[in-house]
Structure 1
Amino acid sequence: MADLQDDLCPATEVGRVDGAPPGAEPCPAEAAVVPPETGRPVSDPDDDPLTRAHAVLAAHPVADGCSGLPRALGRLPWYDLDLGESAVDADVPRLHKGRVGAVFWSLHLPEGVHGDRAVGATLEQLDLAKGVVAAHDEGLRPARTAGQVADARNCGRVAVLLGPAGAAALGDSLGILRSLHTLGLCALTLTGTSWADTDGLTRFGEEVVREMNRIGVIADLSYASDRTVRRVLTVSRAPVLFSRSAARALRPHPANLPDELLAEVGEAGGLCLVPLSAEQTGPTVRDVADHLDHVRTLAGPECVGLSGTYDTGGAHPQELDDTSCYPRLIAELLRRGWDESEVALLTWGNVQRVLRGAEFSARAAQQRRPPSTATIAHLDG
């Protein structure tokens, strides 16, 4: 069995905007996001906020942290995302209109699906998602690294990252984790299993996190218990994200984070992706902006991002009905005095940082440890 400990650099040093961890290879040039005129505004401050929002998003498009499109498409007998599809919120024309440059496609399963059924259902969603991207290659492009995301944007395509999937998809097997990653899985939600529950991570759960670091799968901690969150922040050597979490102080919800955890996430270099969800953030654009303000204040501008949660079945705030509406939210932030540099981090730069951090950690870990042969029976039995 592989060594259960490693001595990689702490997560706070990995994937930061200001550099890579010690000994890591330099960030590929194509992964860096450089504004058209470095150090200069990309919009005219005399323009109205919506016009400015379109200009900023043209330079720094939205990296959307959660879309339920695969499951939504699985219910339709026929669809065309290129021409436009009224049955969903995120067809290609609306993605382009909303200046979306990248999107995570959630592979979460219905409640009560566990064991072999969860593994099989996740494989089916992966197959469906990859088929959808291949069939719409004029508008979409598969990606899993910061460089591939930037390449897709440069080619005028929307980068599609597969995940997060639910932890049940592993079937308590690190071999299945590696196989899912080989098939394109980028992120895994650590909740709802015997090794990641209200009591935190078990020994096997900690080994899952280490193996995720080794292969480059990002830990998603939305809906995880506070104990699990804190233990993952300690164990993980790569940045973590919360695919759909807002501020609990503003709106109580199981996926929203209390202020003390938001501060800890900021200290650890994690990323809280605030959902455009009426249930989690409120019924108006201003409510969403309030959450973004709150998370930015507590975690820092480098640790806040956006999660559309479109096509997940939930209601959205007024004026944010589908992915074409992102400029309205950015206009509200500009009215509130957000700097363009902060908006650029919110929409694009922070997700790129986390992707780079996962790559750096994986390179370092692969030099130090082989694939883990740990089993849940051995560690938690």
Structure 2
Amino acid sequence: MADLQDELTATTGVGELDSPAALDEPRLPEPEPEPGTGPARSAASARDLLHRHPVADGCCGLLGTLPTLPWYDLETGEHAVETDLPRLREGVTGALMWALETAPDRPVTSALEQIDLANNVVARYPEGLRLARSASETADARAHGRIAVLVGPAPATAAGDSLGTLRALHHLGLRVLTLSGAPWAPQDGLTRFGEEMVREMNRLGMVVDLTGSAPATCARVFAVSKAPAILTRSGAGALNSHPDNASDDLLAALGENRGVCLVPCSAARTGPALRDVADHLDHVRRVAGPGAVGLSGMYDTGDTHPEGLADSTGYPALISELLDRGWPETDVALLTWGNVQRVLRGVEFTARDTRRRRGPSAATC
């Protein structure tokens, strides 16, 4: 990426192995860290890096929380939510994906109501938030000091098993759709209509979210889709067996297909402490590659969060932990901002190319 800085040069001392005799000798006190080194330096480096490459957060449940409140003020600070503007700014969040919660008995109508709420909330806080429908609009919001808001992920039921409804939702701003739970995305793959849904998402420029999808379904999406897919809230299944977490096989396939796994700050999915989230990030980076890992706060979703990550203000501490573990600055910049932007651009490029070759699908479920 053009805006990435040179990698930080890690200075590590190399010591000799202790002999048995040396182990019996009195240990000298550890030397005090030199000024500008150690944890204080990594904390300062983390905050500096975040100001250049802020967090693109893959799942925020604010749209489901706000309707339960009699009144709220996100600008001055709102104790009833986890993602008010002061905390988002302190945690240096640059973009949010606002998840839609749909009612089982009226999924399409409730999705429309949630999109309407998203527009109203952003309009109420124009100095803090800006709706974004593309990678360029996300970058533009950041350049103007606003937090970009992308609508989605939404459950597949929001589309009502209708390509026309899918197109209408996209026109209204929906950019991410979660396939799990759809009758056309069963455990054994995709139906023929499901394949048409994925192709139409490619044509529109809508991101496919595979969170919770079966391995056969994911494999079929990778075969059909020409655009990268994402996991909006999945940790490493090898470290935690939560059903939404991804196996190493899925992570490797996601990396090969230029997708991104957004690791959640969720005690149930990643563990009770900040270090557990860092462990999942390490694992996904190792298995899928540095270009396939991102962050998902899961704030205001009702999930319990790890200690140290109760809200978005914990992001600098998490980045500091990764720097202490030896992550190069370029990899951290991809984690926080670059990978999500690349996926958005990849989906948009695919849409432009697909629209040259095919018009709207008329398939029915």
User: Is 1:244–2:233 an aligned residue pair?
Assistant: yes
- Check whether the contact 1:108–1:164 (CA below 8 A) recurs between aligned residues: no
What's the counterpart of residue 63 of structure 1?
A: 56
- Check whether the contact 2:7–2:329 (CA below 8 A) recurs between aligned residues: no
What's the counterpart of residue 29 of structure 1?
A: none
1:197 Cα deviation after fit = 2.0
- The 1:356–1:45 alpha-carbon spacing in structure 2 relative to 1, beyond 3 Å, is farther
- Check whether the contact 1:33–1:349 (CA below 8 A) recurs between aligned residues: no
1:39 Cα deviation after fit = 2.8
Q: Aligned runs of 1:133-152 on 2, under 5 Å?
A: 133-152=122-141
SS of aligned partner of 2:245: coil
Distance 1:185 1:72 in 2: 19
CA-based RMSD: 1.5
Distance 1:231 1:352 in 2: 24
SS of aligned partner of 2:72: coil
Equivalent position to 1:49, from 42, 47, 52: 42
Query: How big is each residue's C-alpha offset from its partner over 1:98-135, in whole Å with a ceiling of 9 and x where there is no partner?
Result: 0000010001335xx05xx1000100011011110111
Q: Aligned runs of 1:147-296 on 2, under 5 Å?
A: 147-296=136-285
Distance 1:96 1:33 in 2: 24
- The 1:83–1:135 alpha-carbon spacing in structure 2 relative to 1, beyond 3 Å, is same
- Check whether the contact 2:49–2:333 (CA below 8 A) recurs between aligned residues: yes
User: Is 1:302–2:291 an aligned residue pair?
Assistant: yes
Distance 2:241 2:360 in 1: 40
Distance 2:214 2:223 in 1: 14
Distance 1:318 1:346 in 2: 21
User: Is 1:351–2:340 an aligned residue pair?
Assistant: yes
- The 1:198–1:372 alpha-carbon spacing in structure 2 relative to 1, beyond 3 Å, is same
What's the counterpart of residue 39 of structure 1?
A: 6
1:49 Cα deviation after fit = 1.6
User: Is 1:366–2:335 an aligned residue pair?
Assistant: no
Larger RCO (alpha carbons 8 Å, 6+ apart): 1
Return the letter of the residue paired with 2:76. Answer: L
- Check whether the contact 1:152–1:159 (CA below 8 A) recurs between aligned residues: yes
What's the counterpart of residue 127 of structure 1?
A: 116
Return the letter of the residue paired with 2:254. Answer: V
1:221 Cα deviation after fit = 0.5
Return the letter of the residue paired with 2:75. Answer: D
What's the counterpart of residue 100 of structure 2?
A: 107
Query: How big is each residue's C-alpha offset from its partner over 1:323-359, in whole Å with a ceiling of 9 and x where there is no partner?
Result: 1110011011011000000000000000000000011
Distance 1:258 1:212 in 2: 25
Distance 1:281 1:124 in 2: 32
What's the counterpart of residue 75 of structure 1?
A: 68
SS of aligned partner of 1:239: coil
Distance 1:74 1:361 in 2: 36
Distance 1:153 1:96 in 2: 12
Number of equivalences = 339
User: Is 1:375–2:364 an aligned residue pair?
Assistant: yes
Distance 1:33 1:153 in 2: 16
For structure 1, list consecutive stretches of 5 or more residues without a partner in the other structure.
1-31, 377-381
* TM-score computed with the length of structure 2 as normaliser: 0.90
Distance 1:295 1:143 in 2: 28
The structure whose Rg is larger is 2
For structure 2, list consecutive stretches of 5 or more residues without a partner in the other structure.
11-34
SS of aligned partner of 2:246: coil
Query: How big is each residue's C-alpha offset from its partner over 1:36-86, in whole Å with a ceiling of 9 and x where there is no partner?
Result: xx4365999735221111011011000000000001001111111111110
Return the letter of the residue paired with 1:34. Answer: D
SS of aligned partner of 1:65: strand
4+ long deviations beyond 4 Å: 40-45
Distance 1:109 1:346 in 2: 29
SS of aligned partner of 1:345: helix
Query: How big is each residue's C-alpha offset from its partner over 1:3-46, in whole Å with a ceiling of 9 and x where there is no partner?
Result: xxxxxxxxxxxxxxxxxxxxxxxxxxxxx6514xx436599973
1:191 Cα deviation after fit = 1.2
Distance 2:2 2:163 in 1: 34
SS of aligned partner of 2:58: strand
What's the counterpart of residue 315 of structure 1?
A: 304
SS of aligned partner of 2:96: strand
